Amino acid sequence: MTHHHLTDPSADTLGGRISLAREFTGLSAAQAARRLGVLTSSWNAWECDRSEPRGNRLAMMAGLLGVSPTWLFSGIGNAPQEHNDRESTKLLQELHHTSESIAVLNKRVQQLISGFEGLYSRDGFAPA
């Protein structure tokens, strides 16, 4: 399904916004339908603009998909945001590097503690 959301999410249809929000959650149509308690065929009809969910279903759907009912119904408000894969990769690499640095520092601290313990036991001093 082609979405107009790349330029203007409010220009998309209700079905397009349902589809877009579902895709951002990582759910399949069948999974989303099951969680909402409806048939997959009903969900697919909503995404294809062949029918529309009732108001109470629309509100429950918005909660399931993590968007506001207003955005889902009209496209007004905050649309789901795409994750920046490059930024995520950079942050994960930095986290991994920092974790390795912490492990090296922890090992060094343990060595220093052992050295102090050796000095105290050899010289008969106890730490204060």
pTM of the predicted structure, to 2 decimals: 0.58
Mean pLDDT of 17-21: 93
3 state SS of 37: coil
Instruction: Answer for the pair 79, 5: CB distance below 8 angstroms, yes or no.
Output: yes
Q: How confident is the model at residue 32 (pLDDT cuts 50, 70, 90)?
A: very high
Q: How far apart are CA 111 and CA 128, in angstroms?
A: 19
Q: Which residues contact 56 (CB under 8 A, 6 or more apart)?
A: none
CATH superfamily of 4-74: lambda repressor-like DNA-binding domains (1.10.260.40)
> Given the structure tokens 């060595």, which residue do they identify?
111
Q: pLDDT for 105-114, tens place per residue?
A: 989 999 999 9
Domain limits, the chain: 4-74, 83-128
Which comes out higher in pLDDT, residue 86 or 83? 86
Q: Of 57, 80, 83, 59, whose CA–CA distance to 69 is shortest?
A: 59
**What is the structure's pLDDT at 6?**
45
**What is the structure's pLDDT at 8?**
56
